[in-house]
Chains A and B, each alone.
Chain A
Amino acid sequence: MDFSWDAEQQAFRSTVRNFLATHLPPDWESQAHGPGSASQSAFSKKFCAKLAAEGLLVPHWPKRWGGRDADPWTAFILAEEMWEAGEPRGGQYMNVNWIGPTLMRCASPEQQERYIPPMMRGETIWCQGFSEPEAGSDLASLRTRADKHGDAYRINGQKIWTSYAGDADTCFLLARTSPGRDGISIFLLPMNTRGITVRQIPSVIGEGDIHEVFFDEVEVPASAMLGAEGKGWEIVRTALSLERVGIPRFALATRMLHRAVDKLKQSGRFGHGAVEQAAKARAACEAARFYSYSIVDQRRHGVATGAEASVARFATVMAERSVGEFVVEHVPEAISGADTLLLAHHQRAIVAGIASGAAEIQLNLIATDFLKLPREPR
């Protein structure tokens, strides 16, 4: 077991850090824009295009799609550095982590030619049309319908809590083509299609982060379907397993914990209660880090990851929670505007257990698939 970075990994991390130092504006950390705000989306397109030009947007993708087949550690080091820097890629991190790879696996050649090149050039934003007012954790009960009319599907329904929808070019949409889990299909839907209305939901998470999306007689050609009809659930389950350890939240949480502790030390306030709480939070961050690394290590060696990914995700949620609670108790002025970066982290951290699926669903998976406890009756 080797817990150190090899020379190549260290060099890659330095390259990414140098890139960030060169291309992030000097006032980047004092900008209080939300992760899905118009200003952030516009910035992400310029920033990701530069990343792409340097070969740093999708290094782990195949050569054919602008990558260099780099190993999963490269992708994860990149993700750590980006998230720790406040995720300047905005919503485009989803393209890199799972939307692109899912299209490579399941999309038709025409769909791949249409959608992957703009992703690998860093110039397009996607949103995920998953949750609905009546289908959150119980995603398979979604009601948005896609009815076939000749060579087209007509989509009617509503999505909610949709991140990045305000500026998204394309929606990765789950819709129902028939009853049951086998009746869920995926559509790659341009957001400028007639009949789509997006409404931002004001939130504590920050400007532009969550939205309602309404579909009123939205017509798409049958060629917009990803994979076969009724295979949506299968495809999305695999895609979301990539997302479970997709965001290295522990990286920014650790940095913010040290930032908060430094503030306390400077003002002589790093005393008994704070020391113990900070130490526990730091341990939680470190546990989340190595859980996540263990998943990357499994991917690196071609081992299928199962419920361990849920364990890693839950450990990350606990780490975010402990840092968030530390800041609120010991550096509360950050929440009132005294530190834009701590505030931005707080806003991201509070959704750690909610975004990409409620953490309690992960606990169910851990109980059943990891501990092998008897299933709950349904």
Chain B
Amino acid sequence: MDFRLTSDQESLLDAVNKIALEFAAKPTEFHGFALVGNQLEQELQDGEFFDIAQVPEFGPVAAALAVERLARLPYAVEAALSMLVRPHVEGELPRPFAIVENGRPGRFVATAKTILVIDGDNVGVAHPAPDQVESVESLFAYPMGKLRAGVKTTPLPSGDAAQVRKWIRIALAAEASGLLQAAIDSTVDHLTQRKQFGRPLGAFQALRHRMAECAVLAGGVRWLALKAASTGDEGDAALAALHAQESATRVIYDVHQMLAAMGMTLEHSLHLWTYRLKALQSELGGRGGQATAIAQHVFGAAPK
């Protein structure tokens, strides 16, 4: 065990951080549901950041840390699947990536060049033409889209499908970790500034304790995501995804309670994190889906 970063990883994350700082604030005039980071996407592409997991000096842990850092921004960018899942799909597949699960609308589907099509236990790969996808209006803070019927999907062999599911879980947990932290940070700012009954809201113990519990959950998600990225173990991946989805359930409710009506407005940024978390809550069968994987890979129950 040694949780220090190598100097290569540190420099890489400094570089990611430098880009991230340019996109730290939501444009004041933006009042939409999803803030799409096209320019951020371009900068990451230009710097070849989407390929860092494959660089031996950086590896999947550095990629997970980069995903987490980028998720803390108000901008949504397709980084998690490209950085953590794409290296585990056979062939040099074009990005952006997206997931369509059981025919539902998915994040980034309308602009994706590669779509992972998940149907029950089967995973396939599709490369839709522009007229085979369409954007969907949604409260979720990702650009949501759906796949039209009739797109050719190439099924993955079951071993590859399992590998893809595992890395989707890790990507989901790393992204959720950043989203949770950003939502908490934003709420802490509010509780520090907003005064009621003559003192900052953050000085009321009832709220302080709930925020402290949220912080404990968020940090736990971070550790489990990093560990899973490091080990690439099926059980670790499922534990990380479950803890992410479970913590999201709790934290989203609490941070919205703390911001009350202010958090309901599109002027405030909170929904840009919480409504990405909400989109992640259902992925790969939600908590029940992760629990089934944990039963098999951690508790040794017979596969379903």
Chain B residue numbers with a CB within 8 Å of A371 are 184, 188, 211-212, 215
Selected interface stretch from B45-53, B83-91, B272-280, B294-302: B294-302
CA distance A318 to B2 in the complex (A): 25
CA distance A378 to B223 in the complex (A): 35
Known pairs A2-B1, A276-B287, A276-B291; A364 contacts B208 (CB<8 A): yes
Chain A residue numbers with a CB within 8 Å of B95 are none
Interface residues of B in 185-202 (CB under 8 A from A): 188, 191-192, 199-200, 202
> What string of 1s and 0s marks CB contacts (under 8 Å) between A359-378 and chain B?
01011101110111111110
In the assembled complex, how far is the CB of residue B18 from the closest CB belonging to chain A, in whole angstroms?
A: 21
CA distance A315 to B2 in the complex (A): 20
Chain A residue numbers with a CB within 8 Å of B209 are 360, 363-364, 367
Contact of B212 among A265, A279, A367 (CB under 8 A): A367
CA distance A280 to B200 in the complex (A): 34
CA distance A374 to B1 in the complex (A): 35
Chain B residue numbers with a CB within 8 Å of A258 are 299
Chain B residue numbers with a CB within 8 Å of A364 are 205, 208-209, 212
Chain B residue numbers with a CB within 8 Å of A315 are 216, 219-220
Known pairs A261-B299, A290-B223, A372-B188; A297 contacts B215 (CB<8 A): no
In the assembled complex, how far is the CB of residue B274 from the closest CB belonging to chain A, in whole angstroms?
A: 18
In the assembled complex, how far is the CB of residue B201 from the closest CB belonging to chain A, in whole angstroms?
A: 8
A279–B208 CB distance below 8 A = no
Q: Which residue of A lies closest to B214 (CB)?
A: A371
Is B242 part of the binding interface, using a Cβ–Cβ cutoff of 8 Å?
yes
In the assembled complex, how far is the CB of residue B281 from the closest CB belonging to chain A, in whole angstroms?
A: 14
CA distance A300 to B300 in the complex (A): 34
Contact of A278 among B1, B2, B188, B299 (CB under 8 A): B299
In the assembled complex, how far is the CB of residue B246 from the closest CB belonging to chain A, in whole angstroms?
A: 6
Chain A residue numbers with a CB within 8 Å of B220 are 283-284, 287-288, 290-291, 315
Chain B residue numbers with a CB within 8 Å of A368 are 208
Chain B residue numbers with a CB within 8 Å of A377 are 199, 203
A290–B224 CB distance below 8 A = yes
Is A64 part of the binding interface, using a Cβ–Cβ cutoff of 8 Å?
no
B242–A318 CB distance below 8 A = no
Chain A residue numbers with a CB within 8 Å of B61 are 1
Known pairs A287-B220, A364-B208; A374 contacts B243 (CB<8 A): no
Contact of B203 among A261, A280, A318, A375 (CB under 8 A): A375
Of B3, B184, B203, most A-chain CB atoms within 10 Å: B3
B291–A373 CB distance below 8 A = no
CA distance A252 to B292 in the complex (A): 23
In the assembled complex, how far is the CB of residue B57 from the closest CB belonging to chain A, in whole angstroms?
A: 13
A5–B243 CB distance below 8 A = no
Chain A residue numbers with a CB within 8 Å of B4 are 1, 297, 301
Known pairs A1-B5, A314-B216; A280 contacts B211 (CB<8 A): no
CA distance A371 to B291 in the complex (A): 31
Chain B residue numbers with a CB within 8 Å of A217 are none
Is B204 part of the binding interface, using a Cβ–Cβ cutoff of 8 Å?
yes
Selected interface stretch from B119-127, B131-139, B225-233, B259-267: B225-233
Is A214 part of the binding interface, using a Cβ–Cβ cutoff of 8 Å?
no
Contact of A363 among B1, B208, B299 (CB under 8 A): B208
Is B290 part of the binding interface, using a Cβ–Cβ cutoff of 8 Å?
yes
Chain B residue numbers with a CB within 8 Å of A291 are 219-220, 223
Is B79 part of the binding interface, using a Cβ–Cβ cutoff of 8 Å?
no
A287–B288 CB distance below 8 A = no
Chain A residue numbers with a CB within 8 Å of B202 are 367, 373-374
CA distance A258 to B291 in the complex (A): 14
Chain B residue numbers with a CB within 8 Å of A15 are none
Is B213 part of the binding interface, using a Cβ–Cβ cutoff of 8 Å?
yes
B223–A287 CB distance below 8 A = yes
Give chain B's interface residue range (CB within 8 Å of chain A): 35 or more
In the assembled complex, how far is the CB of residue B228 from the closest CB belonging to chain A, in whole angstroms?
A: 9
Chain A residue numbers with a CB within 8 Å of B117 are none
A73–B215 CB distance below 8 A = no
Is A293 part of the binding interface, using a Cβ–Cβ cutoff of 8 Å?
yes
CA distance A52 to B288 in the complex (A): 48
Chain A residue numbers with a CB within 8 Å of B184 are 371
Chain A residue numbers with a CB within 8 Å of B219 are 287, 291, 311, 315
A373–B188 CB distance below 8 A = yes
Is B239 part of the binding interface, using a Cβ–Cβ cutoff of 8 Å?
yes
Interface residues of B in 1-38 (CB under 8 A from A): 1-5, 9
In the assembled complex, how far is the CB of residue B212 from the closest CB belonging to chain A, in whole angstroms?
A: 4
CA distance A283 to B299 in the complex (A): 12
Interface residues of A in 1-54 (CB under 8 A from B): 1-5, 9
A318–B211 CB distance below 8 A = no
B295–A275 CB distance below 8 A = yes
CA distance A333 to B226 in the complex (A): 38
Chain B residue numbers with a CB within 8 Å of A301 are 4
Contact of A286 among B3, B208, B239 (CB under 8 A): B239
> What string of 1s and 0s marks CB contacts (under 8 Å) between A283-307 and chain B?
1101110110110110011000000
CA distance A73 to B1 in the complex (A): 9
Known pairs A315-B216, A373-B203; A282 contacts B1 (CB<8 A): no
Q: Which residue of A lies closest to B204 (CB)?
A: A376
Known pairs A4-B1, A293-B3; A311 contacts B216 (CB<8 A): yes
Query: What are 25 A-to-B residue pairs whose CB atoms are below 8 Å?
Result: A1-B2, A1-B4, A1-B226, A261-B299, A265-B301, A270-B295, A279-B291, A280-B287, A283-B220, A290-B223, A296-B1, A297-B3, A311-B215, A311-B219, A314-B213, A315-B220, A360-B209, A367-B209, A370-B215, A371-B211, A371-B215, A372-B188, A374-B192, A374-B203, A376-B208
Chain A residues within CB distance 8 Å of chain B: 1-5, 9, 73, 258, 261, 265, 270, 272, 275-276, 278-280, 282-284, 286-288, 290-291, 293-294, 296-297, 300-301, 311, 314-315, 318, 360, 362-364, 366-368, 370-377
